[in-house]
Amino acid sequence: MRRRGRSSKPDGHVTVQRRHSAKQEARRQRLIEAARSAFLTKGFDATTIDDIVSVSGGSRGTLYIYFGGKSALYEAVVKREAVRVVEALSAALSDASRLSSFLTAVMDVATGEEAIALIRLVIVRCEQHDDIPDIFRQTIPILETLIVNHLWACVDFPQLPEPMRQALADALMMGIAQAQLFKLTGLAGQGDEAALSRQVIRHLSALIAAFERATTDQEGRE
């Protein structure tokens, strides 16, 4: 007598569970998005639970069920923003195989809305919330590794000694930090932001060319 095999389709109970989980995650993400907007617009202290719920929908109780309170929700917002920056950088670098396109992509992401929002969120609560600086400290090495590895992998990046390669990486990271600072503080106007990025690109391109000439000259003397 042949035994009937088990169906590969999920039973009704599993399907209901998956739908319920999907709804829960969607509700959680709506709360995070609403909180992000409120925190960036009004700041942590001025933002109320009602401000967030009025945008996300649901109730105050829903927010407390998912996050326990405003501080934990703020941490979730920062974590999500950090993920967004990493994802944005990875996507931008996927098609940047030459130095010019790589540098443009890096500066666009570094001075973009997500990166600046992340910095603002961290600065506002870093002294009151111990976990916020930790999120930032964990994210920065990921971003730096993506940037530096892609820089060295560009098809037109010259063969240079390790000290020069590291010096170029350091110069790029300092240029990024400077551009972010100018945008964060408002010292750069709307038109100046693009000019700052172009300046960083010009300086790094000139430094690469100088290092390449120095390496070629050294090899010639040897």
- Residue-wise pLDDT tens digits, 136-159: 999 999 999 999 999 999 999 999
pLDDT recorded at residue 153: 94
What SS3 state is found at 80? helix
Calpha distance 24→30 (Å, rounded): 10
pLDDT recorded at residue 1: 47
Mean pLDDT, the chain, whole residue set: 88
Q: pTM of the prediction? A: 0.83
Calpha distance 93→158 (Å, rounded): 19
Count of helix runs (H) and strand runs (E) in the chain: 9, 0
Calpha distance 195→189 (Å, rounded): 10
pLDDT recorded at residue 86: 97
pLDDT recorded at residue 130: 83
Task: List the one residue out of 176, 184, 187, 177 whose CA is nearest residue 40.
Answer: 184
- Residue-wise pLDDT tens digits, 96-130: 999 999 999 999 999 999 999 999 999 988 888 88
Q: Which residue stretches of the chain have pLDDT < 50? A: 1
